[in-house]
Amino acid sequence: MTQYILALDQGTTSSRAILFDHAGLPRGVAQREFRQIFPHSGWVEHDAGEIWQSQLAVAQQVLKENGVSAKDIAAIGITNQRETVVLWDRSSGEPVANAIVWQDHRTAGLCDDLREQGKGEIFQKKTGLVVDAYFSGTKLKWLLDNVPGARARAERGELAFGTVDSWLIYKLCGRHVADTSNASRTLLFNIHTMQWDEELLALLDVPASLLPEVVPSSGIVGNCTAELFGAPIPIAGIAGDQQAATFGQACHQPGMAKNTYGTGCFMLLNTGRQAIASRNNLLTTVGWTLNGQSDYMLEGSVFNAGAAVQWLRDGLGIINTSAEVEALAQSVPDTGGVFFVPAFAGLGAPYWDAYARGTIVGISRGTTKAHIARATLAGIAYQSADVLEAMQRDAAIALTELRVDGGAARNDLLMQFQADVLGVPVVRPTVTETTSLGAAYLAGLAVGYWQSQEEIAAQWQVEKRFEPVMSGDERNERLAQWRRAVQRSQQWLE
């Protein structure tokens, strides 16, 4: 049997490539950070060329460093930062502007206008999403309206739009496709008909000629160009990062949930073949399409999680590395009454307030950097608790455990506090690279490297389980104080 699956994990701040073996274990990894571009307050951009070059470089690096050739790779799986928009020239394959990143809020005003015109309900009904600057559709409209000549060129069929999965596949094999999980994050895709929606395209003034062909999350879409790795390799798995992590966590059955602690926090609950419309400001999204069937998810997005820890490092300079935050926070018994709402780019679910901003309340003369560090970790956990509460109301499912992954899931203090404020066990798996692993599993299933979802689920193993120890009264009191702090942060920008 071919030795490995190669997972390409294109994230918000870095590109990674990981080799997975048949047991679902990582056997080699390469990673490269790339530039974050901030042209104005609330704007975030990436150089799409740099995304591609960094992703290709780490893929070539991980093969070379581990003595692996293209013939040792059964398939490539791709997972990506979602909602980030790339617009490129079909003939040259070059971007016509910087990519607009999911965190970017330049279209908040346009979203306000759409909601005021009563269009929010149309989008929510068809896409499962709320009208927010977070999603791709309004970003694409902005590019068409603001890049000189872009709209005319788009109407002539000269340009192509894609989320990052589409961009990478175009560069790898020349096909213009997106999988259902990524398409479902654009505000342009009807998650019930599983097609691009003409009414939504008209509302955002997007020419249909720009759009990629929609394909399943598991299935061969093409072979990458031979010169990239020395021989063609089938590209057989695609999923947005959070859906990929849910698949990698083996949350294959309705009622199973995971939370990823990355730049942001993303909690997804599998609702099976049923697209449950949220009444609590959550998103309904496509999880994956496999063997002709699509599974749906309820999702809550927290915009700033690991980003808040990075701010302690880069903005305040109170830690030298992100890993130091745990020891600093552990040096005090509690937050000393301090609450930190890290709404740097607004608040996600269940608040959806693009005008909220980061807020620290409860500071006294006794407050130290350790209290701020501890409040930062607590703020991540509280935001996730808000999402889970909304999720349980929507799905009418009482969660029995939360599976966790992502960089900050390695922080034991944070995971224990998360279990305490949720009141359910938090379970960390042996392999925390679940985003990459999910992409690898989707690719491996398509080429017969793994035979079934049952085989994959059997490989999932617990590394540590965090049981809640906080009393119900204390939990409720802390959450009530947290929500007071959130109110202070809301609608800060006029």
Q: Is 310 annotated as a binding residue?
A: yes
Retrieve residue 301's tokens: 């997005």
Q: Name the pairing type of β-strands 293-302 and 213-215.
A: unpaired
Q: What is the 3-state secondary structure (H, E, C) of 175-242?
A: CCEEEHHHHCCCCCEECCCCEECHHHHHHCCCCHHHCCEEECCEEEEEECCHHHHCCCCEEEEEEEHH
The model's pLDDT over 404-442, given as tens digits with 9 standing for 90+, comes to 998 889 999 999 999 999 999 999 999 888 999 999 999
Letter for the amino acid at 55? Q
Written as tens digits, the pLDDT of the chain (494 aa) is 579 999 999 999 899 999 999 999 999 999 999 999 999 988 999 999 999 999 999 999 999 999 999 999 999 999 999 999 999 999 999 999 999 999 898 999 999 999 999 999 999 999 999 999 989 999 999 999 999 999 999 999 999 999 999 999 999 999 999 999 999 999 999 999 999 999 999 999 999 999 999 999 999 999 999 999 999 999 999 999 999 999 999 999 888 899 999 888 889 999 999 899 988 888 999 999 999 999 999 998 888 888 899 999 999 999 998 889 999 999 999 999 999 999 998 888 888 888 899 999 999 999 999 999 999 999 999 999 999 888 888 888 778 889 999 888 999 999 999 999 999 999 999 988 899 999 999 999 999 999 999 999 999 999 999 999 999 999 999 999 999 999 999 999 87
The model's pLDDT over 324-361, given as tens digits with 9 standing for 90+, comes to 999 999 999 999 999 999 999 888 888 888 889 999 99
Q: Is 241 annotated as a binding residue?
A: yes
Q: Is 411 annotated as a binding residue?
A: yes
Under 8 Å between Cβ of 237 and 217: yes
Q: Tell me the C-alpha distance between 53 and 58, whole Å.
A: 9
Q: Tell me the C-alpha distance between 142 and 477, whole Å.
A: 43
241 closest CA partner among 295, 196, 179: 179
Q: Is 107 annotated as a binding residue?
A: no
Query: What is the residue whose two structure tokens read 């679910």?
Result: 349
Retrieve residue 487's tokens: 């109110």
Query: What is the residue whose two structure tokens read 């390695």?
Result: 410
Q: Is 12 annotated as a binding residue?
A: yes
244 closest CA partner among 304, 288, 292, 295: 288
Q: Where are the alpha helices (DSSP H) in 38-89?
A: 48-65
Residues 6+ apart with CB under 8 A from 492: 343, 355, 356, 357, 359
Question: What backbone phi and psi angles, to 5 degrees, belong to 448?
Answer: 80, 15
Under 8 Å between Cβ of 438 and 247: yes
Q: Is 61 annotated as a binding residue?
A: no
Letter for the amino acid at 247? F
Q: Is 407 annotated as a binding residue?
A: yes
Q: Tell me the C-alpha distance between 406 and 266, whole Å.
A: 10
Q: Is 410 annotated as a binding residue?
A: no
Under 8 Å between Cβ of 404 and 425: no
Q: Is 274 annotated as a binding residue?
A: no
Q: Is 242 annotated as a binding residue?
A: yes
Retrieve residue 49's tokens: 């060329």
Retrieve residue 298's tokens: 């309820």
Q: Is 2 annotated as a binding residue?
A: no
